[in-house]
Amino acid sequence: MLALGSSSSSSATAADMIQARTYDVFISFRGQDTRDGFVSHLYKDLSRKNIETFKDDEELRKGDEISGALLTAIQGSRVSVIVFSKDYASSKWCLAELVKIMECNKWVVPVFYGVDPRDVRNQTGSFADAFAKHEENFKHELEKVKAWRSALAAAGKLSGWDSQVTRPESRLIDEIVNDILKKLNRGTSNAYLKGLVGIERRMEQVMSLIQVGFPDVRWLGIWGMGGTGKTTLAEAIFHHIANGFQSCYFLANVRESEEHGRLFQLRQEFLSTIMEDKILNISTPTVGAGFLKDRLSRKMVLIVCDDVSNSSQLEFLFKGINQLCPGSRVIVTTRNKQVLIQNDIHLIYEMEKLDEYESFQLFCQRAFKSNYATGYRLELSKKVLSVADGNPLAIKVVGSSLYGKDKTYQESTVKKLKQGRTETM
């Protein structure tokens, strides 16, 4: 998280840092109204959720124009929170930020903090007083003042949060953070799913089983042979729902971790992250079990255990901490259905093979960087898919191996596959 300095000597460094990064959230606010109270608490809660947030520094507001660093921060942020307070409109820098925010046409979350949304929309009340001064001070730049008014009118019409309606302030902040999380999650999920053939249908099927939001604890198994996309599906679900939980962790490659003697380390990393305790040190699975059980029983968590090959791995990872907070979800991916049965995991999603259309689309993407094929490429596709039998990993491996190769090489490789020489698979 970027902590901007308060001295002029550190401002140049801060500006340089801004140039090199993007943010999840940009907060526009009037410092003297809300910096040490509402905005400070909002910023803290966003940080706790690991949301990269830019809270502008007064030192970056120098001269008559908005600084390049602030412009960059606004352009690079996915969501802008505008905290309209009594004296917001008296600041030319706040108004310049607002104009830029509205120009960017990204998600905007207005917060009407102690002001009537109608005063923002119509520039009445304290906003009228501020504009009377602006029109005097900027009488030779009335187009600028007009742009400020237009931006206020547009922002004031957006659906937002009213501090006089949503109370107390702690609840208001919780609601705003959840609103932001939903917006960020929507964008992240869409970006992550891009190019994943057939994933959305399978996600819908899994979501209908785990039913996030129900107040019980649910364990779900995703079971299937190697290469069928269990990990990809679990990752997609994790990205899609993670923001709805107080803490989340994805335990990747459990089988491999045990084979390399890293299972204890994996458990340590998992617990320290899920408990948000960097100095947590549990020397054995039984030490501190009661303490962990008590803390986890009050924290709604999402946990994914990927590629679990035997029951003892789950028993080790969850030793003494199997009593989770209502609403928590645990997803286990495995090739071995007995792992799920032996751990009383009754919700089981069996991975489906890709259907004919999905297989064709995935192969074309990998082999030809296209969604379709004609001529000899179509015949080539049919031959590969008859051998791959809907296995996503096999299709991706073979398709990638054929990309950019000449026709002779491609046909020779496919002929070997058809003859049973499946080393490439």
pLDDT tens for each residue of 127-164: 999 999 999 999 899 999 999 999 999 999 898 999 99
The tens digit of pLDDT for each residue in 61-110 reads 555 566 788 888 899 898 999 999 999 999 999 999 999 999 988 889 99
Q: Quick one: tokens of 316?
A: 């080790």
Which of 66, 93, 83, 67 minimizes the C-alpha distance to 26?
83
- Going by pLDDT thresholds of 50, 70 and 90, the confidence category of residue 377 is confident
pLDDT of 17 reads 46
pLDDT of 79 reads 93
Length of the chain: 425
For residue 362, count other CB atoms closer than 10 A to its CB.
23
State mean pLDDT over 299-321.
Answer: 92
CB distance 332 to 310 below 8 Å: no
Measured CA to CA in angstroms, residue 138 lies from 87, 98, 116, 264 at distances of 18, 18, 26, 66
Same fold, 8-180 and 195-350: yes
Measured CA to CA in angstroms, residue 284 lies from 87, 264, 290, 303 at distances of 57, 8, 13, 20
State mean pLDDT over 266-274.
Answer: 88
Highest mean pLDDT among 18-32, 56-70, 150-164, 407-421: 150-164
State mean pLDDT over 19-43.
Answer: 85
pLDDT of 413 reads 83
Which of 360, 385, 354 minimizes the C-alpha distance to 372?
360
- Going by pLDDT thresholds of 50, 70 and 90, the confidence category of residue 15 is very low
By DSSP bridging, strand 329-334 and strand 107-112 are unpaired
pLDDT of 403 reads 87
pLDDT of 6 reads 31
CB distance 83 to 113 below 8 Å: yes
Q: Where do the domains of the chain lie?
A: 8-180, 195-350, 356-418
pLDDT of 8 reads 35
54, containing H or E segment: strand 53-55
Is the model's pLDDT at 323 over the cut of 60?
yes
pLDDT of 410 reads 84
- Going by pLDDT thresholds of 50, 70 and 90, the confidence category of residue 181 is confident
**Domain range 195-350, its CATH number among 3.40.640.10, 3.30.1360.20, 3.40.50.300, 2.40.160.10:** 3.40.50.300
By DSSP bridging, strand 329-334 and strand 301-305 are parallel
Is the model's pLDDT at 11 over the cut of 90?
no
**Where does 211-278 have alpha helices with state H?**
230-241, 254-259, 263-274
State mean pLDDT over 186-215.
Answer: 81
Q: Quick one: tokens of 287?
A: 């030490």
Q: Order of strands across the sheet with 161-162?
A: 53-55, 23-29, 77-84, 107-112, 161-162
The tens digit of pLDDT for each residue in 362-371 reads 889 888 888 7
CB distance 119 to 89 below 8 Å: no
pLDDT of 279 reads 55
Class of domain 8-180: alpha beta
Q: Where are the beta strands (DSSP E) in 299-411?
A: 301-305, 329-334, 347-350
Look at residue 84 and give its three-state secondary structure: strand
Q: Which amino acid belongs to residue 363?
A: F
Alpha carbons 375 and 213: distance in angstroms, whole number: 50
Measured CA to CA in angstroms, residue 38 lies from 31, 33, 34, 164, 174 at distances of 10, 9, 5, 14, 12
- Give the active site residues: 97
